[in-house]
Amino acid sequence: MSRDAQHSNGSSIVELVGRTGTHDSENDLNHMDSDNMPNARHSNVSSIVDEGDDGTGMHGGENHLNHARHSNVSSTVVVGDGTDTHGGGNHSNQSADTSNSNSTGAQSSRISKVRAQLRAGDHNSYTPHFVTIGPYNRTPPSPQAEHIKLICVEFMERKLREEEGAEGGGLAHVVEPLVPRVRACYDHDTAGEMTTEALSTLLLRDGCYLLGTTCNLPLPAANNPQAPPAPSNNVNAAAAMHVTRAQETASVRDTVFLLENQIPFVVLEAIHERVTGGNRSLLQSCLGPYVRKLLVDLLYISPWVEVPSLPEPPSHLLHLVHTYFKSPVTEPQQRSSSTGDDNTASTLDTPLLPIRSDRTGRWRRATEYCKYGDVRFKRRNDFKEGERWTFLDVRHDAGTLWIPLLRVDGMTWTILRNLMALEEQQEERRPVTAYCVFMSQVACTVEDVELLQRRGILEQFLGSDEEVAKGFANLCKGVIFDVDIPERNYLRSTWHELHKLCCDQGRNFMGSFRQKHWSEPLVRAGFGIAFCFFVFQLLQVILTFIPLVHKRNK
């Protein structure tokens, strides 16, 4: 590893061992920068931080250094079990490719498997429960879903025959020419071993299923293919095919939010254009509004967010989901002070700060920010009517951290983990990963979850607060993230602002006093009574001296 490190004037490899968010000692406040090695402050130094739960330290350092070379300043945080970072050459290559994933169209359209170290954090979050899509998942969890696929294909084929006749050709002729292009989108050891006929059949069935369940395409009843189509409503169509509400929810989870359960968007476009007689507005008329409504219902975006106008079609459905969370690309520049309407602007739309000499550390727990920095956590509900916002729009303003509402339910971890996995493979800007790292360290204990719930920031539907805290603590296990690159970490400046507050002795005293003494209602009542008594005594003294002053003046 020392030979690889010689490419720069200095490389510091810092190992942080311990569970996410364990700054419990007040003495830690005075030594928050004690581990900031001098070399880490140079602009040409790569600092790799490995945060492990088991204290085993960092492995595969040479591979991590290869990834760090892509930028002048890189503080790469590996969150999770240190033993999971072996990865060998595959891990190194995949991490390194992440930095330049947008350099070619082929890379940006790839649907790669989730990295093994990332999957180890929660295998269930990447596994389909009801329906399998694409070549990565060959064993269907539900025979009913496979039956529905056949119904969708048969219905669309019959519709084509009715409109064009037998000589018009079927959907198979539409999908077969796309097989070489689609095969290049998947890992070779999976799609490469499938025959053209097998892959074409799989794409046809999966594509028809996705269009039938996401677009307003009328579908026949499952028990009678000759029956008239169900109304052009997804819920009614699902009911006509005897799909329960729970199965429909599982289908949405599997088809929209699972990274490994996707097929290329070009397949859906080709089938949709063929079935609708040349309609090429699949994104704007069908899938775009469908995903938008889904995200609005899940409280991830505001109702006024429009279907994004993309220069190129998305790679797949999960990629389309991620486009709703992207910010406009802006040149890095110093951020001006927020006044007036700027206070309600999206955090992601704010111009990026230039790389600063001081490095970014880990987030402190919410209760610790209250104690050491007198930080107030409040739910961000200052959005104006018609304003576009997302759940990522965290804003700090004069000691108050404004955070939009996050609903935590059984699908939250799946959505966030798969979006992080997508960003690791394809995206240069990683807003979802930055948000997840923030929440995983700020809300990693029961006390923090309770605090954020009291402030209206979290709305949880799980079994207990302990389950929510554990979910946040493990959310970013195995995630690799460059915390010191502003283009990737949009919350970097917020971390430094809160860090300064925690280093302020006055705010440290006020926060500690407020947490220790001001949290009890009886204590607050006692202070109120004592203050009123003090004011009463002060007025009494003043009223006593006023007549004496008047007499002396006479």
DSSP string, 386-421: T---BTT--EEETTEEEE--EEE-TTHHHHHHHHHH
Q: Give the pLDDT score at 338.
A: 35
Average pLDDT of span 154-172: 75
- CA angle 17/450/293 to nearest 5° reads 95
Q: Give the pLDDT score at 548.
A: 75
At 472-498, the pLDDT tens digits run 999 999 998 888 888 889 999 899 999
Residue 325 near residue 431 (C-beta atoms within 8 A): yes
101: its two tokens: 């994933």
Backbone angles phi, psi at 196, to 5 degrees: -60, -40
Residue type, 264: P
Q: In what order do the strands lie in the sheet with 376-379?
A: 376-379, 400-403, 395-397
Which residues make Cβ contacts (< 8 Å) with residue 279, sequence separation at least 6?
272, 273, 285
**Is 324 a residue whose pLDDT tops 80?**
yes
Q: Give the pLDDT score at 45.
A: 31
d(CA 501, CA 165): 73
33: its two tokens: 């920068």
| 481: helix, strand or coil | strand
Q: Which of 60-69, 116-125, 528-537 has the highest mean pLDDT?
A: 116-125
d(CA 41, CA 78): 20
d(CA 355, CA 289): 38
At 502-521, the pLDDT tens digits run 887 766 666 565 666 555 66
Which residues make Cβ contacts (< 8 Å) with residue 523, sequence separation at least 6?
517
Band (pLDDT 50/70/90 cuts) for residue 35 is: very low
Average pLDDT of span 526-546: 80
Q: Give the pLDDT score at 79.
A: 62
Q: Give the pLDDT score at 27.
A: 41
Q: Give the pLDDT score at 216.
A: 67
At 363-399, the pLDDT tens digits run 999 999 988 888 899 998 767 677 788 999 999 988 8
Q: Give the pLDDT score at 313.
A: 87
Q: Which has the higher per-residue pLDDT, 400 or 82?
A: 400
Band (pLDDT 50/70/90 cuts) for residue 162 is: confident
d(CA 356, CA 342): 23
Average pLDDT of span 100-107: 40
At 411-438, the pLDDT tens digits run 999 999 999 999 998 877 899 999 999 9
Q: Which of 5-19, 81-95, 128-142, 429-443 has the lowest mean pLDDT?
A: 5-19
CA dihedral 506, 512, 514, 518 (to 10 degrees): -140
442: its two tokens: 């700020």
At 244-290, the pLDDT tens digits run 888 889 999 999 999 999 999 999 999 988 888 777 788 888 899 99
Residue 328: how many other CB atoms lie within 10 Å:
7
First CA to last CA distance, the chain: 91
Band (pLDDT 50/70/90 cuts) for residue 13 is: very low
Give CA separation, 189 vs 126, 220, 259, 288, in Å: 19, 37, 17, 32
Q: Which has the higher per-residue pLDDT, 333 or 502?
A: 502
Q: Which residue ranges make up each domain of the chain?
A: 4-123+327-332+340-509, 128-257+263-314, 520-553
Q: Give the pLDDT score at 320.
A: 93
**Is 350 a residue whose pLDDT tops 60?**
no
Phi-psi region of 166 (alpha: psi -120 to 50; beta: other; left: phi over 0): alpha
Give CA separation, 293 vs 152, 299, 456, 515, in Å: 23, 10, 23, 41
- CA angle 137/436/509 to nearest 5° reads 160
Band (pLDDT 50/70/90 cuts) for residue 156 is: confident
At 65-83, the pLDDT tens digits run 333 333 333 455 666 554 4
**Is 309 a residue whose pLDDT tops 60?**
yes
At 432-456, the pLDDT tens digits run 999 999 999 999 999 999 999 999 9
Residue 469 near residue 449 (C-beta atoms within 8 A): yes
Phi-psi region of 21 (alpha: psi -120 to 50; beta: other; left: phi over 0): left
CA neighbor of 357 nearest in space, from 72, 44, 43: 43
Average pLDDT of span 92-102: 39
Residue type, 155: F
